[in-house]
Copies of this chain bind each other. A is one copy, B any other.
């Protein structure tokens, strides 16, 4: 057995070159992985302060308080940072119809086939 590396007691988020970190949103009840979005320092601070998911929209270059337009907001249950500080995991109570802008519960619904990635029917 190789010796396990020591775990540092404290860690800070490691922002990428664009000042962003990926944030995975998981349904706190079902465990379903809902989406991945990005946060800058302000988005993370607002998420913690407001107790709801606030992302950074890379396409619109603005804070994105998820659900303000769609109603599909995400109430924060908890958030964890990973071992090397470069990814966040949010556990959320998903409001509205689902996390996805298509109206689905989750954003993950294309499976690989011989004809490319095709839509999987929702349960």
Residues of A within 8 A of B (CB): 2, 4-5, 7, 9-13, 22, 24, 26, 30-33, 35-36, 48, 69-70, 78-85, 87, 89, 100-104, 107-112, 115-120
Contacts and interface: CB of A to CB of B under 8 A. Distances in A.
Contacts of A5: 101-102
A117 B10 contact: yes
Contact of A70 (B2, B81, B83, B118): B2
Nearest to A27: B31
B102 A7 contact: yes
Given A2-B70, A5-B101, A26-B33, A110 B87 contact: no
B31 A117 contact: no
Contact of A82 (B7, B79, B80, B108): B108
5 contacts: A4-B102, A10-B118, A13-B117, A78-B111, A80-B109
